[in-house]
Amino acid sequence: MLLWLKRAFKTNPKTRSAAEIRPLNWLNEYLDIADPDWTRKRDVLLAWARCRAERESFQELIREMGWKSATTYRLRDEAAAQIASRINATIVGLHGHAG
């Protein structure tokens, strides 16, 4: 999930397809907006993906923003896991259960 998000940031906004931009929409589609950390998780994921795509230091950005490093990485990992889990659940729901 993180790789797809990073790739979405690397694409040219003028020429990218709907499929290439879709990972950017996952944050709104699959993160739980009822979660009190929803905004922080979304912001951290977007910041991480932008840093990775632009080859900038995410650790430096964390310091500049005044974010706590361990908390920031925890939020990133929780958000990525939640999105991946919900994508997988959607795929299983679309294709039914094997067996």
- How far are the Cα atoms of 15, 18, 70, 86, 98 from residue 22, in angstroms, in the given order? 14, 6, 28, 15, 27
pLDDT given for residue 91 in this prediction: 84
CB-based contact 54:17 (threshold 8 Å): no
CB-based contact 6:58 (threshold 8 Å): no
- If one counts the domains in the chain, the total is 1
Per-residue pLDDT of the chain (99 residues; tens, 9 = 90+): 787 888 887 777 777 777 777 888 888 899 988 999 999 999 999 999 999 989 999 999 999 999 999 999 999 999 999 999 999 888 887 766 555
Alpha carbon 96 to chain centroid, angstroms: 26
pLDDT given for residue 97 in this prediction: 58
In a domain, 15, yes or no: no
Range of the domain at 34: 2-9+20-87
pLDDT given for residue 10 in this prediction: 78
pLDDT given for residue 1 in this prediction: 75
Going by C-alpha positions, the residue among 94, 96, 77 that lies closest to residue 1 is: 77
In a domain, 76, yes or no: yes
